[in-house]
Structure formats: structure tokens, C-alpha cells
Structure 1
Amino acid sequence: MKLTKIALAVLLASGLAACNSSTQAVDKKIITEASIPGVTLIESVKSNAGEINIPYKKYKLDNGLTVIVHEDHSDPLVHVDVTYHVGSAREELGKSGFAHFFEHMMFQGSENVADEEHFKIISEAGGTLNGTTNSDRTNYFETVPVNQLEKMLWLEADRMGFLLDAVTQEKFEVQRETVKNERGQRVDNRPYGRLGERVAQAMYPDGHPYSWPVIGFMDDLNRVNVNDLKAFFLKWYGPNNATLTIGGDINANEILPLVTKYFAPIPKGPAIPKVEKTAVTLNADRYISMEDKVHLPLLSMSFPTTYARSEDEAPLDILAEILGGGNNSLLYKNLVKNLLAVQASANHPCQELACSISLYALPNPTAGKTLADMEKIIRDSFVEFEERGVTQDDLDKVKAKIESGAIFGLQSVSGKVSQLAASETFTGNPNSAKDEIARYNKVTKADVMRVFNQYIKGKSAVIMSVVPEGQTQLIAAPDNFTPKAHDFGGPSTTSADDLVARRAVDTFDRSVHPEAGANPAVDVPALWQANTANGIKILGTQSTETPTTAIFIKVPGGLYNEQASKVGLSSMTASLMSEATQNYTTEQMSNALEKLGSQVSIYADKTHTNVYVSSLTKNLDATLKLVEEKLFKPAFNADDFERNKKQSIQNIQHSMKDAGYLASNTYSKLLYGNNIASLPSSGTVESIEAITLDDVKAFYNANFKPQGAQVIIVSDLKESTIEPKIKAALTNWQGKASSVDLNFAEPKVQTNVIYLVDKPGAPQSEIRIGKRGMVEDITGEFFKANLMNFALGGTFNSRINLNLREDKGYTYGARSHFWGDKTSGGFTASAAVRADSTAASITEFTNELNNYAQNGVTDQELMFMRKAINQKDALKYETPNAKLGFLAQILEFDLKPSFVKERNEIVSNISKEEVNALAKKHLNTKEMIYLVVGDAKTLRPELEKLGMQVIDYSL
């Protein structure tokens, strides 16, 4: 888990602009060219050859808005990010969740943007968008073809300066329900979902800005009114508390007039108070516990440490890595490797004001260890660390992760823009990467020991036990801490009279939507192909933006090659291929890859065993040697097998507590009946128990063959350089697997009835509605059916989502789609809905499906679909991973690159009559099954009122 923090949080900084101080000199010529009233150029940072950096220009408007511009002409795209320096940490006690709530409200329309129009405008432009909130900032972002930039600036400026009059009581109520649904889906209805907020309550003093969750407490949101929310906006959402970052195929001097046009008239907000970083300490261990709908108990230990970007953060990161960051960590050795725990890990999450080292363990029930035992082993591991000390490998691995993470972070314009925005927001310097990298590179062994002594040894922690319902005897120790209770009174009395609004004065009409220019020309990547003597097809393309190589190997043989009695065998085999080899232990292999900054992941799906390789090109030869070792010399050790087998069983039993997992597996069973396609690729408890090590060896020997395998490559190397490397790595691989019959007959199952799976006490219900249908195709009826579905359930502004989420507030999201592969496919509409709206949601789903089938698409919806899909081309090939997916599709379906043009022509020319005929053909609800996973006791009476038969069902 620590790997994630270093690869993301540290990457966020290290990829920002790793250039030396000489690159920060201000270019006087640019200042002259960019002399626009009300705009000040702060600095211009250029790209230096051989350095990992993001060139940019930083400006400040008179109203306090910081503007950062990054020119990247590699793709005809632009990414716009507006980051406000406000998160849950700037809320008040008793008014939690406001920052996240406003993330929702900012998409609900503004003075010149109609309700639900924000998503529609960006989707229609061929773009993607989202917003996120954490404890310290809220950001809103979109990636669009470059011709759509002015429209994006207009949208972001309108909600920065012209939002409040559009925030109505009705919108407030609907989004409050949406937030409740989001909390239900992500927190209350998820195993261990409340762990973080409970630990935070115990870790931080009462009233500390990190003592409540980002999503907030529902009691707080229920108590406040729309004027409380408006007051929060007026305080924090001014331009002087925001950073606008724009990156892509643009010119800074050309876009600055647009920035000033839309943003300069917005008045600045009140002065932003500085938030102090106060050290958090505990005077004694705080034990807390909670019962939850979980299969395994969990122990969490959290020690307060420093704050983000302090001098102690880097050595604490390395300390957490040593304690529990991977296969070479102490917790892995002392708990996971010896089968005492199913999982054990440590990380050092950091926030602007405070950080903590967090350790957790889930005991393996077969080992007979309690949570108290877990705590003792973790504490004993601290003692062992003192004796072990810090090795040079510990330091080298982190440095390699930082370097590779920084480079991989440059592969997309969105990644570069988000890095610039975050660094500016939290340091005031987009170009802070030099300092970030330096502070990790200068960490010594003594530094790591110092922070261990300062923050861990002999220090107090929050120790939380999460136990299955009714099993409080399993807690590590009796609770000795209770959060302070507060009475904040009744409903808020904040009125509109309490607000002091800010109004912009314009010299133009903001109600006029900016027009986009012509769509940018987007070229399909130039491809090269090769075949090997042992039957492998290779497809590659050169991508020179970063010195990296990504390789995707697809080997026939997955779930469909298994027997039902031992389902999960291909996944188990893939897991064992990720363990020890004939020449490397699991730990040695992990260490070797980490020191290269490389990743190799192996996993099985329905039809293939897949190998994904990611490497800095300079380390590709060494990485390929390790790939060869993994693929062709797996050790298949008995100890590794037993550990993975027990972990798989526990993971399955854990997943059975998750409503979404139950719904997916039950739905597959109803659609496919008694054949392999109905079973989960991870297996069942019974099937995994039946698998032996000999089964794994036999599956590998029978199926892991080169004939029919595919290799997809995206690298900065030329074909003439990389093709021999790949062929050399795979040339000695021989053989062909036997083919399998993939004829999945449809079972006889009742349709137009509701199958009900009981999940007692569930606050939400999972709904699936659908049927078997077409296999996947590229330019045929399957493709066209998804075009038909776009307006129904294929986008945020679809009928289904707007109805159930935006109009009714029943769900966090509802959707529909046609799915499939070469063997089978179908149609599914789905949502996780508030439990008390389950019956009403089914009614709305049915009405929307029936109405669309009977009356078809509108002219406006058809035009929306055409614009949204045909303008997405600029986003399809931007990153190496996007190119991998594109090339994999070409190989799988034996396509020519011209299929992209064929699809675009279909989108442009498909008639309303053909769309409506497809809807009528495929959306007959009488032919569909209805599945509900939820609290059967309360749901059954309501579902029976719908007039449909309700059938109890279980796996």
C-alpha cells in the first residue's frame, strides 16, 4: 500500500517540473508579448533537455486568480483544471461535508448554464470531466479536443462567478439525497467502510478539521439549509483561492485574452486565513471498536506523525515501506508469508495539516490468531526493525519509484496539469519538484531511524478493531475512548439576508455560448506488425513523448478453459506466476523490479492470461529478463500455493458481504445457468478448496502456449530496435493449447419477474435488469445498439441517470449498456439505490426502457450522441495505455486501422429510424430478468406491490 502513496503522492510532486533553478528565469520577451491589463506574468519555466520537467508560464490576475499554462503539442487536446484551496479541513464543526456537497452543486448549472447542461456540453464536445474533493482541496477538470477550449473557460468561469442564483432549494434537496446515496454506496454499505472516519475521530482533537470525514456526517447535512451552503461558497470559492491550470495544444499568449475575458471580471472573495499545522499527539493508546457486516475481523493501528512536505515526511514514507510496503516488508514476512494473516500492510498517508503511519492486518482464521495477537506481532515487528535497521536497498527502491513515477506522470496532459495545479495550491510553486525529489534522495539510514524513534517507538496510537456482527469478543482490547457528543440544535436558521453576494460586471453577454472551431485532425497511430516462428502476433507503435515502454501479452487460456468444479484455476495459476520463480524468491523478484522502477502484473480473464509490463526504456532489457523468468520459470512452490489458496478463499468469503459482488454473480448465474460462463473468475469457496498444486501445474503446461498469443507494444523505441528484443525474449517458447467449445446455451429462466437476494440490513439495494443478447462486434449491430443506448443510459445526461439520480435522488448513478465478447453478450441496466426507493426505482427503470422502446430517440438526443462520440477521437490515443487498448482491439478482431473511420461514418449516418428499430428490438422488458440484492424482509412487501412475481434466490 505504501507503493501507492509513493507512486501517486510523491509522483504528484516529482513529476511537476524537475528542472533546476536556472530554468526559472523569467523571459522578458514573453512578458512584453503577454502584456494584458490586469495580468502579471510571475514566471516562465522552460523545458531542459534530459530533465524530467513540465514547462509552464504562471500568471496572476488582479482579482487574485492564479493561472498556469502548459504548452504540449503532442496531441490536439486541452485539459482545464480549476483547483480551489478548500476541502473538508476548512469546514466548521457541525457543518461537515460542505466542500464535497459543493462539488456536486457545481455541476448543477449556473446563471448562464441550464440545469444538467454542464455534463451535456462537455460530453457533446467529445470530452471527459469530473470533480474530486479531499480534506484540503476541491478540483474540477475536463479534457476536450483543443477546439473546445473557449467553451470550457466559459463554463468554469460561470460557476466560479455566477453560481449562487442558480442554487435552488430543489437542487439542494436532490443533491443532498445524491450525497446520501454516495455515502451509502461507498461507506455504509461497504465492508470496513467506516474505518477511516472512526479512526480520525479518535486520532484528532475534538473540532480538529480532520476529525470528520470528507463526505461529511449525514446529521450535519440534514440540519443545514441551502443558505449555509451559499455562505460556504462565498467564503471559499473566490478567484483569490483558486488556481486555473490549462495544458495542451495551445499557445499561452493566444489564450490569455480568453482567460481574462471570462475570469477577470469576477470579484475576489474575502481574504483567505492561514491554517496552522499543529502537531497531533496522543497521551495514551486509544482503543476503539466497531461491529460491521464483514467476514474477517480487522486490526488497524495509526500513529500521528508530521504534516505533508515536512522534512520528516520522506523518511517516514521509507519507514512505512520497510514495515509493511510490499513483499519485502516486515509485516509481510511476519504475518502474510507464514499464513497468520490474509493481508497486512502499512502506509504513511499525508495531508496538508497532518500525517499518520497506518498499519493494518486481517488475521487468517485458519491460523487461530486474534486481533490482540495481531497487535502483538506488529509491535514485535517494531522491535525487529530496530535490530534490522535500514538497508541501501530500502533507499534505492524509493528513489527508483520516484524517478519512474515522475516519468510515467508525464504521459498525459491531464496528468501534467493536475501535478502543476496541486503543487501550486499547496506550495505556491508549480516548479517544486526539484525540492521534492531532492528531499527523498537525501534521506539517510539515520533519518529513517530518527523518525522511528520520534514517532513510533514508545508512542501512542489509535488501535481499532472491526469485527463481524455479534462477535465483540474478538476485539483487541476494550474500548477506552468515546468521541465527544455534540448537540448542534435543530434545523439551521441561516437566511438569505445573512449573505453578502459578489457580482461581476461584464462588457459582453455571458449567456451566449462560445462557438467551437473546426474539429482538430486526429491521426490513428502509425502501426507496425510482426509474427514469430512460434505463432505469436505482434503489433506495435512508437510513442516518443516519454522514455517508457509498455507491453501487453495476451495468452489464450482463462476462465473458459476451466472445469466448473475447479473454477478459479486460471486466476490461481496467474497468481502463482507472480510468486517465486526457479531463480528468484518472491521477495527477490519484487526487490529486483522495484529497484528498476518496473511493474509486471499477471492476471486471467474469461479468455486469456494477460501479462502487463511497464518499464522505463533504459531499464527494459533488465525488465524483460525478469519477465522471462516469471513467464517461463515459475517455481510453483507448495508454500506459495497454500498461501494464495487460503487468501483466495478468504477474499471470496469477504466479497460475499458486498452487495455489488452478490448482484454480479447472481446475475451471471441467472443469465448463463449451469455452465462455466456463469461462474466468477475468482472461483468459489468450494472450487478453490478443490484445486491442487498439480492442477495449477497442469493448467500452465496445457494452456500457457505461444500459438495464438498476442503481444502489443507501445514504446519510444523504433520498431527496428524493440522488435528483436521482444522476439528474443519469447523465441524459445513453444507449443499450442487445445481449443475449447464456447457454446453457452441460454438457460430456461423466468423473465419479467423479480429475483430477490437477501442482504439483511443493507442500506442500499443493488438492481440489475437485462437479458442475454448479441456478441460483440466492431461495426455491426452490437456497435449500433450501444449508439442507440447512449441517450438511454450510456452517459451522465442519459434518461436513466437524470431520472433516478438528478430528478429523484434515488441513487449515486444509474446506467445501461450492451456488453459482450466474441462468445456471448447482453444488455444490462443497473444501479445501487437507496433501500427505501427500491420499488420506485424499478418502476422508473421499467418506464424508461418501455418508453424508449416504444417512442425512440429524439432528434436532439440523436445529435447529442453524434457530437459526443465522433469528437472523442482526440482522447483515444493520447497515452501509452490508451494506445495499448486500441492496438489490442485491432489484434483481437483482426482489424485494419480504417475501422475508426468506418465507425465514425456509422455514427454520422445512422438514421433515427434505425436507432428506433434497435430500441424496439432489444429493449422489451417482458424478455428481461429483474434482480434485487437487499434487505428482503423490508423489500418484499414493496416489491410485491409492483404486480410482478417476487422469487427468493440465492447462489
Structure 2
Amino acid sequence: MSESPPLTRLTLDNGLRVVVAENRRVPAVAVNLWYFVGSRNETAGRTGLAHLFEHLMFQGSKNVPNGEHFTLITSLGGTLNATTSFDRTNYFETVPAHALELALWLEADRMATLPHGLTQENLDNQRDVVANERRERMDNVPYGTALENLVGLLFDEGHPYHHMPIGSMADLRAASLSDIHDFFGKHYTPANAVLSVVGDVDAATAADLCARYFGDIPGAPPPARPAHVAAMIDAPRHLDLVEPVPAPAIYLGFVLPEDGTAELDAATVAVTALGRGLGARLHRRLVRTERQAQSASFNVIPLVGGASLAVFAALAVPGASLADIEAGFRAELELFAKSAEAAHDVARAKALLERDRLAELSTLEGVADELSGNTCLFDAPERAYTTVSRLGAVTVQDARNAVAKYLLTPGYAAVRYQTEGASR
């Protein structure tokens, strides 16, 4: 899908950007709200606040009691959730088409009146929830801190991507109710948000409803954006950990260009060709041929603040050396840069990425999220429909160049997990 279907766009007087797309296939509608605030926007000593709001936004506002947002949506058969990343926070629900006004009212009420629900009791409660989430997803899970350790190595202290969205538990415990109110007032404003509505609606009617429910929320200038900061690493950075993990494992991190660039498109195709799926070159070499690893994968984390990430992960077989796995990884990259088979691998990667895009755009939720994201990050909702063509334009030589420039470099990060007595 290379052409954008008709989109209705408007910007309200308070700065809220709205995108509406009609899709009459099913009698449902997806509402998706992106706020341009993530962990990148946090300051030293106050990390984790962006993610904390993912929880606080469901704790009640002036007209919606604690937990009622979930109750109202699910009682109609709808679904809802929220996520936080380095660059943004988003809130979304899918409801029967007749419930569009309810979904818009709920989102507008918490954008306008959430401070009524920002109490000390709710703050204390949700800090505990976040602490439990960290224990369940990171601290008490084998290899759960791998990405946190990688970004800590790749990005120096003070870089906007130095810390994970979940933040520091010490910082969260130190945050006062005043800090929470200030963060909301600064970042949760109409001009710092994008609202998308996709589904069984008349576009003009839906746009009018968005204006009705959000138009009276007071406007404010959007907060200053953090500077785009490149990450320069000219030597390897290693971290060796001995933990009660099932098997030794190695994680390698590389700095890539920021999202929205042709350079990242080329790197994405290359990384996908090398490390995604059972047919990928790294899996074939490390798992099937050399039998050094139980699994091997390589993925891209796109970011917009001056750099993106590529993360390689391999779980060793008993007795295998992590140093040998790393050497095999590098050898396969060097081979890709000159192999005649690279054309086949690049074609396979493009097919996988095209399938991803078509799957995302096959659902109302996926379309709404893509429209919000591309409007929020690039002010270009139509980019949601050009990913396939942009990635398709990447040549084999582009992919090879990306490997040579961004992956076969002396600057990278390695986190190695060892069990007692394991070979390095």
C-alpha cells in the first residue's frame, strides 16, 4: 500500500492536531492519542515520570472516578491500553462505532482535568505498581536488564536516551506531588498531542466531535524539544555480569541514525536480513551451522532524538564461548558486506518488513497508531502508507554500506551474562 487514503486533518485553536480516516469495514472505531513526551524528555533526578503517567492517567479525573475509564470502555465490549517509550506516550481504545463520543469525552476529560485525580494517595499507589512492574519485567527475569545496560553503555550520562522509560525507582520515590503536577502541566497539553480517529465514522462528523470535546481545553505553547544528540562511541564498552541465568548470553548494541532518515531505512533492511527469523544469516550460522547458540536475533529500535539502536541477542548452548559467538557475529557481518547472496537476503528482509506493514495497516488500531505516530514525530500522517515504498527503495549496496558504517565499527556495547563456571 503506497498511497494514503483520504485523510481529514485539522489543528484546533489550542494546538491539538487531529487526523481522521474513514474505514467502513466493521462497525467500530479506534481512538488513538499520542503525547510527544517520553523518557527522553525527563531531567536528571526525575526519571520515570513519563511512564508513571501511563498509570496515573487511569486513576481518575474531575468527572471520571478511579478505574471508571476501563469500566466504561470494557462494558461496551471495547478494548484500551497505553504504552510509553523513549520518545512518546500513547493512549488508545477501540469501541463500537456508536461509542465514539464516549471515548472522545473520556480522553478529553483527563487531558483537561487529570490534576483532580493527582492525589498523594494515587501517586503512592502507582509508584508501588511501577516498582512491581520493574521487578516482574526486568529485575526478576533472566536477562531482563539487558537493554537497560546497553543504553547505559551506548549513551553517556546526560544523554536523553541514557536511561530506560521505566526510570529509576529512587527517582520515583523522590518525586513529590508538586513534581507530578508540574510534569503534567508541561507535557500534557493539546499542542503537545495528536489525536487520530479511524473507523466506521463520517470524517467530517468525527472531526466536528473532536473539536467539540477537545476544543475548549486551554492551550499552551508546547514544551521545548530536547536537543537531538548524536552518540559517538569510538571503542567497545563491555559489561560482564554473573547472574543465576539459565545459560550464558550476549547482547550487542549499536548506534544507528535517527528515525525518518534514508540511512535508518537502509540499516533496518540490513539488520532484518542478518538477524530476523529462522532464515536469517545469523541464525543459520550461529544456531544451525556452528551450533554455538540456542537462539540469535538482531533488531532495530527506531528513535527520533539523534540516534536509533540495533540490538543483537544470542543465548549460548552449553559449553559455548560468548567470545566465539561475538566473533561469528562479526564474521557474518563482514561476509554480508561482500557476499553474492546478500541480494537474496535483502529481498527476504524487504518481504518481511512489507508483511509487518500490511499487518499493521490491516486493523483499525494499527492505522490509528501509525497516523498518530507519524503526525506526532514527523507531522506527516501520510508516512504511514509510504513505509513499504521507502524500504523497497533500499538497494543491496545501501544495506551493505549500512553494515560497514554502523555495525562493523569499533564503537559498540556488549553486555555478557555468565553463569558460574561458564566459558567466556
| Corresponding position: 1:333 with 2:284 | yes
Aligned-pair distance for 1:458?
3.6
Matches within 5 A, 1:220-239: 220-239=171-190
Aligned-pair distance for 1:125?
2.4
Amino acid at match of 1:359: F
How many percent of aligned residue pairs carry the same amino acid? 35
For residues 374-415 of structure 1, give each alpha carbon's deviation from its aligned partner in whole angstroms, at most 9, with x where no partner exists. Answer: 222222223323342563322322333344333333332112
For the aligned residue pairs, the C-alpha RMSD in angstroms reads: 1.8
User: TM-score normalized by structure 2?
Assistant: 0.94
In structure 1, distance between residues paired with 2:65 and 2:385 = 44
In structure 2, distance between residues paired with 1:359 and 1:216 = 23
Contact persistence 1:277–1:307 (CA under 8 A): no
| Corresponding position: 1:358 with 2:311 | yes
**Which of residues 99, 103, 113 is equivalent to 1:148?**
99
Aligned-pair distance for 1:426?
1.3
Call closer, same or farther: CA 1:118–1:475 in 2, change over 3 Å: farther
Matches within 5 A, 1:675-714: none
Aligned-pair distance for 1:256?
3.3
For residues 50-75 of structure 1, give each alpha carbon's deviation from its aligned partner in whole angstroms, at most 9, with x where no partner exists. Answer: xxx44320111010001111111221
Amino acid at match of 2:287: V
Question: Which residue in the other structure is 1:293 paired with?
Answer: 244
**Which of residues 135, 143, 148 is equivalent to 1:192?**
143
In structure 2, distance between residues paired with 1:181 and 1:274 = 31
Call closer, same or farther: CA 1:179–1:247 in 2, change over 3 Å: same
Question: Which residue in the other structure is 2:132 paired with?
Answer: 181
Aligned-pair distance for 1:136?
0.9
For residues 52-110 of structure 1, give each alpha carbon's deviation from its aligned partner in whole angstroms, at most 9, with x where no partner exists. Answer: x4432011101000111111122111111111111111111221111110010000110
Matches within 5 A, 1:692-771: none
In structure 2, distance between residues paired with 1:162 and 1:264 = 14
In structure 1, distance between residues paired with 2:139 and 2:148 = 11
Aligned-pair distance for 1:190?
1.1
In structure 1, distance between residues paired with 2:309 and 2:149 = 14
Aligned-pair distance for 1:160?
0.3
Question: Which residue in the other structure is 1:115 paired with?
Answer: 66
In structure 1, distance between residues paired with 2:311 and 2:262 = 19
**Which of residues 186, 206, 215 is equivalent to 2:157?**
206
Please say which structure displays the higher CA radius of gyration. Answer: 1
Amino acid at match of 1:247: V
Question: Which residue in the other structure is 2:79 paired with?
Answer: 128
**Which of residues 242, 258, 261 is equivalent to 1:310?**
261
Contact persistence 2:336–2:400 (CA under 8 A): no
Amino acid at match of 2:314: A
* SS in structure 2 at match of 1:320: helix
| Corresponding position: 1:429 with 2:380 | yes
* SS in structure 2 at match of 1:388: coil
* SS in structure 1 at match of 2:250: strand
Question: Which residue in the other structure is 1:345 paired with?
Answer: 297
In structure 2, distance between residues paired with 1:305 and 1:408 = 25
Contact persistence 1:100–1:133 (CA under 8 A): yes
Matches within 5 A, 1:12-161: 18-19=2-3, 53-161=4-112
Matches within 5 A, 1:485-496: none
**Which of residues 375, 399, 408 is equivalent to 2:359?**
408
Aligned-pair distance for 1:474?
4.3
In structure 2, distance between residues paired with 1:412 and 1:324 = 27
5+ residue gaps, structure 1: 1-14, 20-52, 477-955
Call closer, same or farther: CA 1:458–1:210 in 2, change over 3 Å: closer
Call closer, same or farther: CA 1:78–1:439 in 2, change over 3 Å: closer
Amino acid at match of 1:351: L
Call closer, same or farther: CA 1:475–1:276 in 2, change over 3 Å: farther
Contact persistence 2:16–2:190 (CA under 8 A): yes
Question: Which residue in the other structure is 1:586 paired with?
Answer: none
| Corresponding position: 1:255 with 2:200 | no
In structure 2, distance between residues paired with 1:475 and 1:308 = 38
In structure 2, distance between residues paired with 1:130 and 1:417 = 14
User: TM-score normalized by structure 1?
Assistant: 0.43
In structure 2, distance between residues paired with 1:434 and 1:252 = 19
Matches within 5 A, 1:242-641: 242-338=193-289, 339-353=291-305, 354-365=307-318, 368-389=319-340, 391-433=342-384, 435-468=386-419, 471=420, 474=422, 476=424
* SS in structure 2 at match of 1:136: coil
Call closer, same or farther: CA 1:359–1:148 in 2, change over 3 Å: same
In structure 2, distance between residues paired with 1:285 and 1:310 = 26
Contact persistence 2:300–2:308 (CA under 8 A): yes
Aligned-pair distance for 1:316?
0.9
Contact persistence 2:38–2:85 (CA under 8 A): yes
In structure 1, distance between residues paired with 2:183 and 2:114 = 13
In structure 1, distance between residues paired with 2:274 and 2:355 = 22
Matches within 5 A, 1:916-927: none
Aligned-pair distance for 1:129?
0.9
Call closer, same or farther: CA 1:259–1:327 in 2, change over 3 Å: closer
| Corresponding position: 1:164 with 2:115 | yes
Call closer, same or farther: CA 1:188–1:106 in 2, change over 3 Å: same
Contact persistence 2:10–2:17 (CA under 8 A): yes
In structure 1, distance between residues paired with 2:270 and 2:127 = 41
Aligned-pair distance for 1:335?
1.3
Call closer, same or farther: CA 1:102–1:426 in 2, change over 3 Å: same
For residues 307-341 of structure 1, give each alpha carbon's deviation from its aligned partner in whole angstroms, at most 9, with x where no partner exists. Answer: 11211112212221333223333322321003221
Call closer, same or farther: CA 1:402–1:337 in 2, change over 3 Å: closer
For residues 734-787 of structure 1, give each alpha carbon's deviation from its aligned partner in whole angstroms, at most 9, with x where no partner exists. Answer: xxxxxxxxxxxxxxxxxxxxxxxxxxxxxxxxxxxxxxxxxxxxxxxxxxxxxx
Call closer, same or farther: CA 1:306–1:296 in 2, change over 3 Å: same
Aligned-pair distance for 1:170?
0.5
Amino acid at match of 1:62: D
For residues 858-890 of structure 1, give each alpha carbon's deviation from its aligned partner in whole angstroms, at most 9, with x where no partner exists. Answer: xxxxxxxxxxxxxxxxxxxxxxxxxxxxxxxxx
* SS in structure 2 at match of 1:254: helix
Call closer, same or farther: CA 1:284–1:336 in 2, change over 3 Å: same
In structure 1, distance between residues paired with 2:287 and 2:251 = 16
Aligned-pair distance for 1:174?
0.6
Call closer, same or farther: CA 1:240–1:208 in 2, change over 3 Å: same
Give the number of equivalent residue pairs: 422
In structure 1, distance between residues paired with 2:214 and 2:273 = 48
Aligned-pair distance for 1:435?
4.5
Call closer, same or farther: CA 1:282–1:410 in 2, change over 3 Å: closer
Call closer, same or farther: CA 1:392–1:306 in 2, change over 3 Å: same
Task: Say which structure, 1 or 2, has more relative contact order (CA 8 Å, 6+ apart).
Answer: 2
Call closer, same or farther: CA 1:214–1:453 in 2, change over 3 Å: same
Contact persistence 1:88–1:100 (CA under 8 A): yes
Question: Which residue in the other structure is 1:909 paired with?
Answer: none
Amino acid at match of 1:282: I
* SS in structure 2 at match of 1:448: helix
In structure 2, distance between residues paired with 1:349 and 1:130 = 21
* SS in structure 1 at match of 2:242: strand
* SS in structure 2 at match of 1:312: helix
Call closer, same or farther: CA 1:310–1:216 in 2, change over 3 Å: same
Call closer, same or farther: CA 1:278–1:475 in 2, change over 3 Å: farther
In structure 2, distance between residues paired with 1:159 and 1:171 = 15
Contact persistence 2:21–2:197 (CA under 8 A): yes
